[in-house]
Amino acid sequence: MHKNSIKLRHNENDIDDDLDALIAETIQVQEDSADAAVRALKTAQMTEQIAASQLTQLKQQGEQLKAIDSKMDLMDAHSSNAGKQLGYLEKLARNFMIPVFSKQPKQETPPPIPERTVFPAEGDKPPGYTPRPQPAEAHSRLVENATTEQHEKSKQAESIIDQAMTGLSSALGNIKMMALSMESELIKQNEDVQSIDEKASVQKDKVDRLNARVGNLLKK
């Protein structure tokens, strides 16, 4: 009977040791998870800052393209005015100089400028992060055997994890919106570049025709 009692106490001590080890391991996993969550949040915040900087530069580039496009429109107005002035000189040449029997070349109408697609403004932010539910309660024996200090460590680790995950979700949402804004901005810039290219081609043709008319006028 005495031997059986000693053996039972040994078994109970082994169980207590196992529980203590399990509690310590659980807290260590929570703390490691909290550290990993904080590191992930810092990385996401750095990425968010880089994306914001790139988006700002991209929009500045878009403004420069719009300015070039506006200058192309101004150049078109100047070349059209030059064509009118040249037409006046050609009339003077017909009336007071050597008659001109050749017909004045018909001025081509520049191709229509493609309509610029209007993109919707940036949408609302995606739904925020819904905090994950608290993990299920540990086994009653684990709870009963954990000390007050261990409970506090566990709660602190869980709080850090929840805060980091909330911040991480917000940062990822912002990164997604900035990525969508970059995509929209690139599409608009591609259209601006295409518009500038078409206008430059039209202006080249108009300048070539004006130069030819000036050359014919000087020969008279």
Mean pLDDT of 49-53: 91
Q: Which are the contacts of 129, defined by CB distance < 8 A and separation ≥ 6?
A: 165, 166, 168, 169, 170, 173
Q: pLDDT tens, 16-31? A: 667 778 888 888 998 9
Quote the pTM value.
0.54
Query: 58-109: per-residue pLDDT in tens?
Result: 999 999 998 988 888 888 888 888 888 878 777 776 666 544 444 445 556 6
